[in-house]
Amino acid sequence: MGNHAQGGGVNIRQYMSGPFTRFGLAIALVACVLDQASKLYLLKGYDLEAHPTRLGPYFDFVLTRNTGISYGLFQSQGPLGQWVLLGIKAAAVVLLWVWLSRAADRLSALALGLIIGGALGNAIDRLAYGWVADFVFFHVSGADWRFNWYVFNLADVAIVAGVVGLLYESVFGGRSNGHVP
């Protein structure tokens, strides 16, 4: 008989823990700590708001207060919108953690850990400031054109790297075992 028949209720551990969960959560912690450390230094130590910095022909450090989600979508100025975004982010992290508990290999766990860590890093900003601190500005220009990418942070880099890892795993992951995806 299962837990329900014995009166034990739902076993949360089975949904939140798997063979690579600790590894993925360690990656999430590292990604989140690196993101927060970079933001704390640039906001409080370096005072990026007062000192935007050119890093070369393609990158600048500038402070952007992002009240929306990725790429500045769904800008939300009020507290209700911020709490809605935080709620969505919390639900996404829980679902990603459940997915992580079912990860069958280190690459998937690494990728999910990066996404979770990046999401948590940006959520901490939203709780602390009411906005996410973005600071890396990538741009390229020619004689008569200019390309500006969105301003981003290390949490965003972790999220994108995690998504790339999941895409790689979904396309090429089974080939090392002789399986075709």
One-letter identity of residue 38: S
**Rounded-to-integer distance, Cα 83 and Cα 89, Å:** 10
Directed axis angle between helix 106-129 and helix 21-40, to 10°? 40
Q: Which of 47, 105, 144, 156 is catalytic?
A: 156
Task: Identify the residue whose tokens are 């940006």.
Answer: 122
**Rounded-to-integer distance, Cα 162 and Cα 88, Å:** 19
Active site residue 60: no
Q: Which of 35, 105, 125, 134 is catalytic?
A: 134
CB of 138 closer than 8 Å to CB of 59: yes
**Rounded-to-integer distance, Cα 96 and Cα 92, Å:** 6
3-state SS record for 88-139: HHHHHHHHHHHHHHCCCCHHHHHHHHHHHHHHHHHHHHHHHHCCEEEEEEEE
Retrieve residue 29's tokens.
């912690």
Q: Dihedrals φ, ψ of 140, to 5°?
A: -135, 140
Active site residue 47: no
Catalytic annotation, residues:
134, 156
